[in-house]
Amino acid sequence: MTRFTKKKKNEIGRAPDELFFRGEKKIENIRLTIIDFDAENCEEVTISKTKEAIKYREKESVTWFNIDGLHNPEAMKNIALAFELDNLVLADVMDTDARPKVHDYDNCVALSIKMLHQNEKTEKITVENLSLVQTKSVLLSFQERDGDVFDPIRKRIRNEKRRIRKSSADYLMYALLDIVIDNYIFILSNLGEKIESLEELLLDNPSQDLLTQINANKNELNFLRKNIIPAKEMILGLSKMDSDLLQDSNNVHFKELVGNINQAIESSDSYREILSDQLNIYHIAFSSKLNDVMKLLTVFSVIFIPLTFIAGIYGTNFEVVPELKYQYGYFIMWGVMVVIAIGMLVYFRKRKWF
């Protein structure tokens, strides 16, 4: 399966507000969970029908309504009706291959961003589309499957002494985005450790296995950059947005997200340059190693040229060769050849040719 965007033919030509799932089905049944909280109370429930969430729409408390699974158009239609959302909002939610973006509607702020997961055992990195829709007091989060990076947020909500319990829905949206971007930096740092660990090995032994690892790291980094870089435009748009649903007191937090996403992108740029340098080092080291081999072979070839010349003379078929009748001629020939070979080796060594 490709890790990059792949357009299907049946997606072409559909209306932008049509509730049609564009993506890969990653969960069988949709899961609906609600966390409703204020400074004094916190309620966590799992519901089976969207209409059970309607009662939270007008409450003064903050409600986090999380939906796992985006493939059911009927369920999305019910959510749109329950929270009086434009179909265009839910149509964007169901397009999992869309670029990260943010839009200010009449009664909500809707955005999407890519959420990365890294398997702790295999270290394989996967991606899913996360959509957040914020109304006055409700934050709806749409995920492709169950399991996310938001457990620290849930723990903070359960702790009544934490600031998040006294904050608004837009602060909750900031908190979720913050942990998504922090996870970018964490995954990049893990990949960075693997990249940097190859530096010394490259200089010692530039083997084919190292080249394979460098190319694997390069592909992984390209995959990360493909999902991280587009998020910057969305975060910048959110930090500059003038909406009645976003409190002025939280502007500083959204601007903080800009700094975090810039840090993630700068890290990816640095690792990209390191990988490029590593490829250059590999080719230089491999060429140097090959040159050393060629130099050694050349030295031995040069040494054997005069020895071959001598052996060629005394290997001729002429009957009259003066030294052939001499009693010690054979040993003298060997002595001359050994002296020539040693003399050339000493000369090459002094000239530092090997």
Percent of the chain with pLDDT over 90: 50
CA distance 181 to 258: 10
Which candidate, 108, 109, 262, places its Cα nearest to that of 181?
Answer: 262
List all residues 6 or more positions away from 209 whose beta carbon is below 8 Å from its beta carbon.
Answer: none
Indicate the pLDDT class of residue 34, thresholds 50, 70 and 90. very high
Q: Each residue of 295-311: pLDDT tens digit?
A: 778 888 888 888 888 88
pLDDT category at 57 given cuts 50, 70, 90 is confident
Average pLDDT over residues 118-130: 89
- From the list 59, 28, 31, 26, the residue with the least C-alpha distance to 43 is 59
Name the residue with higher pLDDT: 121 or 77: 77
- Which domains, ranges and CATH numbers included, belong to the chain? 9-285 (3.30.460.20), 294-350 (1.20.58)
Q: Is the pLDDT of residue 87 over 80?
A: yes
Residue 237 confidence (pLDDT) above 90: yes
What DSSP character marks residue 95? Answer: B
Band of pLDDT at residue 21, cut at 50, 70 and 90: confident
Rounded to a whole number of angstroms, the CA Rg of the chain reads 35
Q: CA-CA distance, 268 to 209, in Å (whole number)?
A: 23
What value does the mean pLDDT take over residues 53-63?
89
Q: How confident is the model at residue 290 (pLDDT cuts 50, 70, 90)?
A: confident
Averaged over 155-180, what is the pLDDT? 91
User: Distance from CA of residue 324 to its chain's centroid?
Assistant: 77
- Structure-model confidence comparison of residues 321 and 163, the more confident one: 163
Q: What is the pLDDT of residue 354?
A: 67
Mean pLDDT of 310-327: 75
Predicted local distance difference test score (pLDDT) of residue 1: 43
User: pLDDT (tens digit, 9 = 90+) per residue, 97-108?
Assistant: 889 999 999 899
Give yes or no for residue 78 having a pLDDT over 60.
yes
pLDDT score of 7 more than 70? no
User: Does the pLDDT at position 6 exceed 70?
Assistant: no
DSSP 259: H
